[in-house]
Amino acid sequence: MRHLLEDAEQRFREACEHADLSDDAIQRLRIPEASLKVSIPVRMDDGSLRTFAGYRVRYDSTRGPAKGGIRFHPKVSADEVTALAFWMTFKTALMDLPFGGGKGGVAVDPKQLSVAELERVSRGYIAAIADVIGPDLDVPATDVATNELVMGWMVHEYGKIHRRHEPAVITGKPLPLGGIPGRWTATADGSFLVIRELADRVLGDTDAPSAAIQGFGNAGAQLATLLAEDGWRVVAVSDSSAAVHDADGLDVAAVRAHKDDTGSLAGCPVGEELDRDEVLGLEVDALIPSALEGAIHEANAGDVRAAVLFEVANGPVTAAADRILDDAGVQIVPDILVNAGGVTVSWFEWIQNRQGDRWTRDTVRDRLEERIVAETRAVARLADERDLPLRTAAYVHALERLTDAMDATGNEALFGDGG
């Protein structure tokens, strides 16, 4: 996963060329504030003991406590978590949230664990990192292969360790433990709002635009539904097993029902089944990668025939692929904008917990639309004013907020002329 960190650094350097930054801010953003690697010994159901590696990185907390998810995946590494924490720093600044950036994970395949083993891994991870997280320090959430059940175990374990109920330490919790309505559709809801806001800009006046979605998990499936309801033709979707395609537009509800029933798109009775990788090369208006990082890379970027990419996944396009797509005239709307709905609603949950309040689904939806639309328009304006690609404009927008906060700590004034 070293390429993720290298890609993050490359995009940082590119944005620095177009942003009004202080030297202090550039230096402070080169290295994370804190990085922790822990061992998590877990007694398995058969009585054996296994030890898993866990990580938590707090990249920057100038604007507030670090914010970022916890993923369970066999390939989780220090470099991957650092890159994702770096991206979270920009994402929270882009959305003007009072957070910094963090990320965590455990190198484990949760599909190979029983429910009881998964609970022991989850609680063991929190026991190992409990001293470096907290509502005012670092606030974890869900990510790849973690869900509200896992967050429930984790917030309960944190409370046991610290001898107090502290729901604001983790977001993405079950509703009875302080979760918030709309959190599980927030990434897709935010992505849809960005796509709707930018559709005319990136596609022109296109009737019934077509979309292919790579990754049919929680975010991808919900986004497919929203797009279909809005008049888009969702012509293809894929998961780790297969892709399904219908040039006239899939019956998204039927595809979702098959996936819910079987856990896979393989054997779907709707549309034509394709190899899972074929979805990337379909001729569509919008390609929407919604799976893992690095799905579009130097070896396959030349196959892309979409007019625009909306990055719902974190880091789905490598820096090398960026250049190929740019040369081909493919526009990219970046992940730190497109998938920011999740962290924005996590902020709402954190506020709710701090206030001891309960928000309604309508309140969440209205506040999310207000924030997403405002920041999407701000990025588009900046792109126009400085003649920048949308990705660079999003990073510059975030960077200038970060440098304002860092300079406001007074470091530069200590060495200035005092005037």
Query: What pLDDT was estimated at residue 411?
Result: 57
Residue with the larger pLDDT of the pair 206 and 244: 244
Residues 135 and 141: beta-carbon distance below 8 Å: no
Residues 213 and 286: beta-carbon distance below 8 Å: no
In angstroms, what CA-CA distances link 64 with 22, 55, 402?
20, 21, 11
Q: Is the pTM of this model over 0.85?
A: yes
pLDDT in tens, 210-255: 999 999 999 999 999 999 999 999 999 999 999 999 999 999 999 9
Phi, psi torsion values for 270, nearest 5 degrees: -100, 130
Residues 338 and 311: beta-carbon distance below 8 Å: yes
CATH of 31-182, one of 3.40.50.10860, 1.10.10.10, 3.60.21.10, 3.40.50.300: 3.40.50.10860
Phi, psi torsion values for 248, nearest 5 degrees: -85, -5
103 counts as catalytic: yes
Residue with the larger pLDDT of the pair 3 and 242: 242
Q: Give percent above pLDDT 90 in the chain.
A: 87
Phi, psi torsion values for 62, nearest 5 degrees: -60, -40
The residue from 67, 75, 91, 103 that is catalytic is 103
Cα separation, 299 vs 331, in Å, equals: 18
pLDDT in tens, 328-367: 999 999 999 999 999 999 999 999 999 999 999 999 999 9
**Confidence band, pLDDT 50/70/90 cuts, at residue 418:** very low
Query: Is the confidence at residue 375, as pLDDT, over 50?
Result: yes
Query: What pLDDT was estimated at residue 2?
Result: 54
Query: Is the confidence at residue 415, as pLDDT, over 70?
Result: no
- Tell me which of 10-14, 79-83, 96-100, 148-152 is least confident: 10-14
Kindly report each contact of residues 315-318 with a partner whose C-beta sits within 8 Å and lies 24 or more positions away, as own/partner: 315/4, 315/7, 315/8, 315/83, 315/84, 315/87, 316/214, 316/289, 316/290, 316/291, 316/292, 317/289, 318/3, 318/7, 318/294
**64 DSSP assignment:** S
Per domain, the residue ranges of the chain are 31-182
Query: Is the confidence at residue 8, as pLDDT, over 90?
Result: no
- Tell me which of 8-12, 169-173, 333-337, 411-415 is least confident: 411-415
Query: What pLDDT was estimated at residue 225?
Result: 98
- Tell me which of 101-105, 125-129, 275-279 is least confident: 275-279
Cα separation, 138 vs 170, in Å, equals: 9
Q: In what order do the strands lie in the sheet with 233-238?
A: 272-274, 243-245, 233-238, 210-214, 286-289, 308-310, 331-333
Cα separation, 221 vs 231, in Å, equals: 16
- List, as one string, the DSSP characters of 199-226: HHHHH-S-SS-EEEEE--SHHHHHHHHH
Residues 6+ apart with CB under 8 A from 3: 294, 318
Query: Is the confidence at residue 155, as pLDDT, over 80?
Result: yes
Query: What pLDDT was estimated at residue 206?
Result: 87
User: Residue written as tokens 């009881």?
Assistant: 116
Cα separation, 410 vs 22, in Å, equals: 12
Tokens coding 228: 């279909």
> Helix/strand/coil (H, E, C) string of 171-192?
CCCCHHHCCCCCHHHHHHHHHH
Read off the amino acid at residue 355: Q
CB atoms < 10 A from the CB of 413, how many? 12
Nearest to 403 by CA among 16, 14, 11: 16
pLDDT in tens, 294-321: 899 999 999 999 999 999 998 899 999 9
CB atoms < 10 A from the CB of 13, how many? 10
pLDDT in tens, 75-117: 999 999 999 999 999 999 999 999 999 999 999 999 999 999 9
In angstroms, what CA-CA distances link 50 with 77, 119, 308?
18, 14, 45
